Amino acid sequence: MDVKIISSTYINKHQYFTARQDAYQLASGKIVDPYFVVELPESATAMAVTADNQILLVKQYRHPVQQYSIELPGGFIDPNENPDDAIKRELLEETGYEFEEVFYLGTTAANPGVLNNFTKLFLATGGRKVKAQELDANEEIDIMLKPIEEVKQMLHNSEFIQSMHALCLFYGFEKLKSLGY
């Protein structure tokens, strides 16, 4: 890498919001100072398809944008946790569903101009309800089951404001085609 970090100072350190102020020098010699970075844990999300070919969606309030958002289930990957295990855990916790197969679709960065984390994208198939939700204290999540074609229409109507989830759906629908759905 042709970029040299000159300094890095933490402004705030919290499990879910860590911010730092950096200074760095580009290969051309140009110095960028200050540059602000928000650190977040790596996350995972999945297009989750039930055994009866319904897509599991979740609806929850997102305070930064002050609206309810229809999204895919997912969450943060715990330290030293395998991403495949993390998405299975998150699916079970948020929805109460277990899945027969989980396919890795890719990795994306939500906003690499400010955020340092990546999100692992998955397709989960063959889901069956096995237990009740086990939500975090700050979560209220409504589960929605929608037919595949309806979710495709929602995607094309720009009903998903969470861009990483929209990307996961695009990749997921392509993978479903290859699986014969």
**pTM for the model:** 0.92
> What gap in Å lies between CA 2 and CA 151, rounded to an integer?
43
Q: Average pLDDT of 40-53? A: 96
CA 121 to chain centre: 7
Residue 54's alpha-carbon distances to 59, 82, 102, in angstroms, are: 16, 26, 16
User: Over the stretch 98-108, which tens digit does the pLDDT of each residue have?
Assistant: 999 999 999 99
Does the pLDDT value for residue 16 go beyond 80? no
Beta-carbon contacts of 172 under 8 Å, excluding residues fewer than 6 positions away, are 46, 47, 105, 121, 123
> What gap in Å lies between CA 87 and CA 54, rounded to an integer?
18
Does the pLDDT value for residue 157 go beyond 90? yes
Any idea where the domains of the chain sit in the sequence?
4-39, 43-178
> What gap in Å lies between CA 62 and CA 140, rounded to an integer?
10
Q: Architecture of 43-178 per CATH?
A: Alpha-Beta Complex (3.90)
